[in-house]
Amino acid sequence: MSHSYRQLPEGPSQARLDLDEVPTKQLLAAAWAGLIRDDKTEAADMVEEAGKKAFGTDIFRTAMAAACGGGGIIGEEPTYG
């Protein structure tokens, strides 16, 4: 049974996060957002640099915005204008 990352678990048996189903860019962006929240800016900068290098600046910026609750769906190309 496949679950969307936005779907809440229905019970304790579904509460475990299956990391194989979570895109790496989403994990990196979530780590970056957590580091920012915890005021670990030097580490957050390193994660941001790695994410941009791995996925491209625009794609990782979109992932960072989504991780912070902003617009954008992880994996979507950003639109301008």
CB distance 19 to 26 below 8 Å? no
pTM for this entry: 0.63
Q: How far apart are CA 40 and CA 19, in angstroms?
A: 24
Greater confidence (8 vs 45) lies with 45
Tell me the pLDDT tens digit for each residue of 12-68: 555 455 666 678 999 999 999 999 999 999 999 999 999 999 999 999 999 999 998
Q: How far apart are CA 62 and CA 76, in angstroms?
A: 7
DSSP 18-56: -GGGS-HHHHHHHHHHHHHHTT-HHHHHHHHHHHHHHH-
All residues at 6 or more sequence positions from 40 whose CB lies less than 8 Å from its CB, including other chains: none
